[in-house]
Amino acid sequence: MIIANKKPGWFFYFGWVALNASAVITAWYITFAIMDRVVGEDDSLILELLFPIIGLLTGILQYILLRRYLPHMGGWIAATFLGWLMPFVILFILSKLLIPGSSTVRIVLVMMVLGTTVALPQWWLLRKRVQHAWWWFLVFGLAWGMVGLYDLLTLSDLFPVLLGFAIIPAIATSIACWLLLDRLPNHELSSRTSSR
């Protein structure tokens, strides 16, 4: 296991929230700029454009922050990009398995499943670098569940939905970073385990 180089200060967590939230909002505007110029009036492609752009932007910005505290994080950008593509596969599977309907519980559960699929490739990298990497799944899933609940309450206006989507996961994952990089012990495993 590779452990963190050092513990981040408060600026890291503030930067994490600010950069992640701004990446989601920036991705939103990039998506609509592309749609206006290339796609036109077809709104059915919004998520197919938005999610990969969010994945790329957040992956780059998160990597810039994480590389000072966790060594060998070059795969983080690709993992984040891949993670933001995975919800399409999960949504397809869930749409075949779930009975039609939009109960609050069902929407929150689906959002939690989507959040954990976004976190899966990132967890794959984190598990070799920090102990208790499963916190990443838990926090990401709960954050997306909260986004689903928040979005149900604010469906009348699009910008509050985007704001919730930008801010709630950013705050939640900053808490996960705080747990993984600062609060939870990250003891080195035996040399036999770390050499694998």
Residue 94 has pLDDT above 70, yes or no: no
For residue 57, report the phi and psi dihedrals to the nearest 5 degrees: -65, -45
pTM attached to this predicted model? 0.80
Contact call for residues 149 and 104 (beta carbons, < 8 A)? yes
Report the pLDDT value the prediction gives residue 188, as an integer from 0 to 100.
44
For residue 5, pLDDT over 70 is answered with no
Does an H or E element contain 86, and which?
A: helix 76-97
- Say yes or no to pLDDT of 156 above 70: no
- In angstroms, the Cα distances linking 33 to 19, 45, 157, 191 are 21, 13, 20, 51
Q: Cα–Cα distance between 22 and 37 in angstroms, integer?
A: 23
pLDDT band at 55 (very low <50, low <70, confident <90, very high): very high
Higher pLDDT pick, 7 / 22:
22
> Which is more confident, 143 or 38?
143
- Residue pLDDT, tens place only, 102-147: 567 777 777 888 888 889 999 999 888 888 888 888 888 888 888 8
State the average pLDDT over residues 76-93. 85
